[in-house]
Structure 1
Amino acid sequence: MNGDILFLAHRLPYPPDRGDKIRSHHILRRLARIAPVHVATFADSDTDWAHEPQLAEIAKTHCLVPRTKPLWRAGVEALWAGEPVSLAAFRDVRLAEYVRQTIANERIGMIYIYSGQMGQYLPPDFDGTVLVDLVDVDSAKFDAYGQRGRSPRAWIDAREGRLLRVEEERLAHHADRTFFVSEAETDLFRARLARPVGVHAVALRNGIDAAFFDPDESRGRPAGFEGAGPHLVFTGQMDYAPNIAAAERLMARLMPKLRRRYPDAQSHIVGRNPPSSLMQFDGRDGCRIWGEVPDVRPYVASADIVVVPLEIARGVQNKVLEAMAMARPVLLTEGAATGIGGEDGVHYIIANSDDEIVQRACACIDDPVRRRGIGRAARQFVIDSLGWEAVLAPLAALVEKSSKRSESRDAA
């Protein structure tokens, strides 16, 4: 391609320790092999700032600004402007000025927008290639929240879904390519378009670092996994609403049924920022809330089963890929399995209702040979199909194809 790349991300792609940052981290590294990259992004914490030197190593220039706007202020701004709260929350004049100056002073041939919140920084007169990575259909997620929730939150979520849907379609019409994490998300997005003509939406899958998530590299059980078990583990960012709901489902609805059959059964919730609604379960009925841990691998490796009872799931779940790479049997809902590939009963186990989850968990617990077989098959599937190098191999070709399409469009 001609020129440099401007990469806009709603969160610093370092450290790659949560789903959205894992994907952006690997995409940024792959883009940097294609052309020099300039990065505009936000820091959420002191931990992020500690990783700014790593960003400086890979980026030709960068702008890292703190995201300090409180949610209430973003909400007021969004209501006043008639826009999604997601956009107001990620609006910053310093980042906008960096984008303006970089386009003016550098030879930018392509802008890669990672996450719909960053589309607001795309200049309407930019004449280079535009790639938009929406990852998953956020508007559909908020639609689901609005349908399941209670007022006034249900009204807020329904509004967010409605306005985000408009913004997602606006960006797709500006983009040479719009990426989603799976074919299912891509099909869902196409089905929701009011004006599908002119939108080029394609799947760009998530991968996994199978060398890092290697069960042979994670020895020893963390203190707290004592007892006969079985030990059920759920991991994720615990201030994310679908994860909170899944963890509550595991502890409040599934564990009582499992403990009637296995009195020593324990559930382990592993992930940063658990709210008080989860912390109230800690120490009760075999439930343990770990919060943030320095390395999630020993906890996953110590699981008899990794349980992912998500009722609302968008995109590909990194927590599932990590557990599969660690050769753990994963019991998950159909939604959480979307976009992964593989086969139910071979690479993982699918169950949706509470009773079905309990039934299939018991069958798995009672058959250790089958558990090990599913774990081995899961890891081999990940190694063969889902390494980052393999899943991002099409990116260079897509960049080149989009660049040629953009040049042809400009010539016309």
Structure 2
Amino acid sequence: MDFGHSARTREYIERVEAFMAAEVLPREQEYLTELRAAEDRWASVPPVIDELKAKARAAGLWNLFLPDTTHGAGLTNVEYAPLAELMGRSPIAPEIFNCNAPDTGNAEVLLHYGSDEQRTRWMEPLLRGEIRSAFCMTEPDVASCDAANMAATATVDGDTVVLNGRKWWSTGIGHPNCRFAIFMGLTDPQAPRHARHSMVLVPLDTPGVRIERMLPVYGYLDEPYGHGEVTFTDVRLPLSTVIAGPGRGFEIAQGRLGPGRIHHCMRLIGLAESALQLACERSLSRTAFGKPLANLGGNRERLARARIAINQARLQVLHAAWLLDTAGAVGAVSELSQVKAAVPAMACDVIDMAIQLHGGAGLSDDFPLAGAMAAARALRLADGPDEVHLGVVARIELRGHARDRKEQVRTP
């Protein structure tokens, strides 16, 4: 394992850092001001976004997440990690570089599993940044961490597929440019456990698709992206909209969620770095009881522990990324679950410490910390809750010990 950056990675880091400093970070406040002043925050996106996207694409800083060299930058997960971390420092940066979830995962699904027609109609405009997408898997009436509980259906009827069910926490569904969703539903309840589900491409203007409401996270609606509750009522589509064919939904989900989980963790490290930076600035500029906050109440130790935690998480993510690159998702199952459980918890701790140092201001929109906490806390549930990932890690760990014990029994 060598976590030293390659020459190509260093070049991309320098270019992304420079673009962030010159173009993205100075325009954040302009974006937020325009968004908050809009009469309907779901109706349109402030023009600064399209302006910056055009500049990023012209600069060759586009689709950096995609290892495919035809459509993306061809970077490995290890090479992409520091770039995603930089993007995580800004709420608008991932979209500027066309590296925003859930579009990244949906694009990878279509690249690896989609038909030529599906790629042409949906993937290519997605990778050009012309449209947005959503992913509809989680359901309100069942524990969706267990896909076997899924109640929504994708029933094959001749040369069509009929969708029925209710989904929620469908991220990106509120975006004015969202044009399609990937829906996961039960196709054959009698099939083997991992061959029961299908994934279907659903244009949002299809009859029977209805966005019921947008869901707040700690009061934040995350406009103009949002997380929606969506109903599908007798939604009838051509069988050609099923990705890779009926019964392959679970296989696709496993392939999609691996890179998606680690991308979230990469960005969260950047978010934690931003929170720590704000905490340090606050602790040095604010005085109480005749001393800077940094010299009160163990705050130096808190800042130090935050630095240690971020660095530990970064190394763990790089290790998981290296395994994903060299051994594939199957060879990195435990490590992907480890980072998915560890990194959001770390980010929550660091952001909470920064909020505490900011006092009441940390709870307001004067600083980005409350919104950052909402985002980090949500990721302890998204793409599988902590408990599921800890269960995976424990199962693999115990399996190894059980095997060792059997070998000891056999040995005279």
TM-score between both structures, scaled by the size of structure 1: 0.25
* Structure 1 or 2: more helix by fraction: 2
